Structure 1
């Protein structure tokens, strides 16, 4: 990439700042809140627009946020917005991931029963493996497969954001990340509508349909909503299956961090090899607290809303900093891992539902 064409500020999802070589010394040592404000305002307005459109027209909010952010990617060339966009993509992302820990408990995972739990883990493993194989075939690299596989296997955009945090921009550029995120959002939206209809057409029971939808639809809200459109019983089962997948976010991200080892700006010390990202530790801590203490709905409900809002802001900020030229260069090959992983997830989940779920 021609570094002279880069923005004054550019960064990976967590926003480590990089300047053009000629301007490194000119970077401010400290930034005040007034420096962050322009970027945060622009990002917030775009996110509110995505939320309004999603509410009134029924489109997935993450997909709308991505598209609006990409359409406004010219904003990243305005120097004054860079610190705020960087702050949103880094801190809002981490906080949003941590708050997801309040949405699931160990008891809910245990309540699946060993057959359904084993089936869910099988679906996740097959989706992950299929994405890595497809990425290699498409010559997109191992990291693109990990991102697509994790997003498909766990919880869509939230998992993609968390995984990109440990993959880093040095291994996978923002353009391919944005393409993968769009692919995951589109695939999840299609699945939410198509899978209940397929389950109805082949005569699955409520429990089988709940497992199929909960184990194969990427986004949590769309998985639960699609299952409830089938029946209340299917919706209840799908909720537990989906929450079990969400609970795997921490372990999977931790394993990926160990697998990949040294990242951008990182070290190769023994501690770095075994340490989990702090936001995953926070996710685990809240999950543990939620498992042993009954947290009232008055707190968990707003926490989920806040988590979604923070993740939306992070997605929009990241999309705004993506260069459209690189998106075009990424091409259709960047979508192959997501498509293959989605198909594998559905096929395996359907097989488990028919053969193992009564």
Structure 2
């Protein structure tokens, strides 16, 4: 039977040798390149939704990531139009990687070293407690280890940014998009609650600036809210919270690497499903480490670092909004209370351990 020579990949969907045939017949079959304009509808609607989220955050104090998630979910009917798919997928995938890479402009090796050995040990305990609590909660509620790793790792490092990075190595084959989106929603909500409640808690307990800065920097997920909570106590507490929080951000690369290795063994994918193997260091994590190294050797000008932070937040907001728009709300609502437990357990564990360490170890 004669095969149609049109550049239609679906014609080879049932053919095990379709890709080989396409490659071998490349000289004979003219494959038309898809225009870049295919990205415009999806990127435009994600940008509009992201701008609305930024406006809400600026004028009403709503956490910008939470606003982006809610607006994205509210207008997810737009993703029913196939013309938006390429742009939304590009924003959710490539936008998140670029945003995470740019976070490297905010971290230096000197900042990590300046924190000191004792606070660093406490920070390691807080991160370990968050991961273990999330894994235990996932197992107790009948969820996969991937769900625990996603919730615990995101809580341990930097909230939505870490969740996006971890989702990149865990893969859609192990965690569906509805579970991922709900995790982002719970992370944003927990971080917003912590911003309001943790500073009064430190004052009620009579914490010093060093203790308060460690507590909020080690236990609040979102970078901006952790630093903001520190400065809500005092300038000295804010400076301490900044160092502690950026140290957590620096742990993103090793955590993602270990997560990739562990999840490949704990939940191996069936043969022929997804990637054949999980890379030890994803490319965007290598780029993140490269920027950290450059920033450590040649500190970036403050204005350039500020612009990089703004660009990172913008890209991550676009990625979160696009991900929410591509999520089916019926699946999200059907997840139930069990899907919330890993993040909730990790949040409580990180607060308890950080509180105990700040009270009994840090002077």
* Fold shared, TM-score > 0.5 on shorter chain: yes
Question: What's the offset of the Cα at 1:140?
Answer: 1.9
* 1:29–1:62 Cα change, 3 Å: farther
Q: Distance in 1 between matches of 2:120 and 2:77?
A: 46
Q: Does 1:79 align with 2:82?
A: yes
- The structure 2 residue matched to 1:350, chosen from 328, 349, 355, is 355
After superposition, what is the alpha-carbon deviation per residue over 1:289-319, rounded to whole angstroms, capped at 9, x for unaligned?
1111121012111000000000000001110
CA distance, structure 1, for counterparts of residue 238 and residue 299 of structure 2: 23
Match of 1:91 in 2: 94
- Return closer, same or farther for 1:332/1:301 CA change in 2, 3 Å cut-off: same
2:106 corresponds to which residue?
103
Q: CA–CA distance in 1 between the matches of 2:299 and 2:245?
A: 20
- Provide structure 1 residue ranges, at least 5 long, that are not aligned to the other structure: 1-16
User: Which among 154, 157, 177 is matched to residue 154 of structure 1?
Assistant: 157
User: Is 1:62 the equivalent of 2:65?
Assistant: yes
In structure 1, C-alpha distance between the alignment counterparts of 2:103 and 2:162, rounded to whole Å: 11
In structure 1, distance between residues paired with 2:320 and 2:303? 27
* Match among 136, 139, 143 for residue 140 of structure 1: 143
- Distance in 2 (alpha carbons) for counterparts of 1:294 and 1:174: 38
> Which whole-Å CA distance do the structure 1 matches of 2:193 and 2:201 have between them?
12
Residue of structure 1 in register with 2:332 after alignment: 327
Q: How many residues align?
A: 333
Q: Is 2:230 the counterpart of 1:227? A: yes
Residue of structure 1 in register with 2:22 after alignment: none
In the alignment, structure 1 residue 187 sits paired with structure 2 residue 190: yes
- Tell me the CA shift for residue 31 of structure 1: 2.5
Q: Deviations over 1:178-209 (max 9, x none)?
A: 11110000000000110111111111111101
Instruction: Verify: 1:31 aligned to 2:34, yes or no.
Output: yes
Counterpart mapping for 1:1-358 below 5 A:
30-261=33-264, 265-268=274-277, 272=278, 275-358=280-363
- Cα distance in 2 for partners of 1:87, 1:200 equals 45
CA distance in structure 1 between the aligned counterparts of 2:242 and 2:233, rounded to whole angstroms = 13
Aligned-residue CA RMSD (Å): 1.8
Q: Distance in 1 between matches of 2:312 and 2:216?
A: 23
CA deviations on 1:56-82 (whole Å, 9 max, x unpaired) are 000100000000001111111101111
What secondary structure does 2:172 align onto?
A: coil
In 2, distance between residues paired with 1:335 and 1:32?
A: 41
Instruction: Give the Cα–Cα distance (whole angstroms) in 1 for the partners of residues 79 and 206 of structure 2.
Output: 51
In the TM superposition, what is the alpha-carbon distance from 1:265 to its structure 2 partner? 2.1
Structure 2 gaps of 5+ residues are 1-8, 19-30
Residue 330 of structure 1: SS of its match in structure 2? coil
Residue 8 (structure 1) aligns with? none
- Write the deviation string for residues 210-250 of structure 1: whole angstroms up to 9, x where unpaired: 10011000001000001100111111101100011000000
Distance 2:281 2:305 in 1: 25
What is the CA–CA distance in structure 2 between the aligned matches of 1:31 and 1:132, rounded to whole Å? 43
Alpha-carbon separation, structure 1, partners of 2:113 and 2:250: 11
Q: After superposition, what is the alpha-carbon deviation per residue over 1:267-286, rounded to whole angstroms, capped at 9, x for unaligned?
A: 14xxx55x311000000000
Deviations, residues 39-60 of structure 1 (Å, cap 9, x unaligned): 1100000000000011000010
Distance in structure 2 (CA, Å) of the matches to 1:30 and 1:150: 39
TM-score, length-normalised on structure 2? Answer: 0.89
